[in-house]
Amino acid sequence: AQCVGAIVAAAILSGITSSLPGNSLGRNDLADGVNSGQGLGIEIIGTLQLVLCVLATTDRRRRDLGGSAPLAIGLSVALGHLLAIDYTGCGINPARSFGSAVITHNFSNHWIFWVGPFIGGALAVLIYDFFLAPRSSDFTTPVKVWTSGQERG
């Protein structure tokens, strides 16, 4: 659904802004001087910090939560954009990157904007579940949960 929405949004934007020269419709790409490895790393880090923020601010097991989760998540998105936009356009959402790539028919380096967020999200979950907020003090319990899908207690 997000991919379809992104394509529709990019198509609408294309219609509205078609007279602008060099209009990329917000398509993500690597800036001059940024290689694919660097771009991938930037997308991994941007997504990792966002997913860690979401996990930490919405974890119902935590009793120390205060403040506003939506505000914290919004600030995390802003931080990701401030750090990454000059280098990759700050994808951190494969669906958003996909919509403008489809409408502009330009998929150069597009794999970065799928692989980076998936790796960053997976790393964030592992870091959160194993180190920041483990469900057990025994390291083998999270491993059993991850491998079997069930927690034995």
Q: Per residue in 64-82, is it b (16+ CB within 10 Å) or e — as a string?
A: eeeeeeeebbeebbeebee
Structure tokens given for 52:
């860690």
- What kind of architecture, by CATH, is found in domain 1-18+29-135? Up-down Bundle (1.20)
Ordered by start, the domain boundaries in the chain are 1-18+29-135
Q: Dihedral angle at the C-alpha atoms of 24, 27, 31, 36, nearest 10 degrees?
A: -140
- pLDDT tens profile 37-80: 999 999 999 999 999 999 999 998 888 878 899 999 999 999 99
What is the model's pLDDT at position 28?
A: 93
Indicate the pTM of the whole model: 0.84
**Does residue 137 register a pLDDT over 80?**
no
**Does residue 136 register a pLDDT over 90?**
no
Q: Which residue, chain included where needed, has tokens 């280098």? A: 87
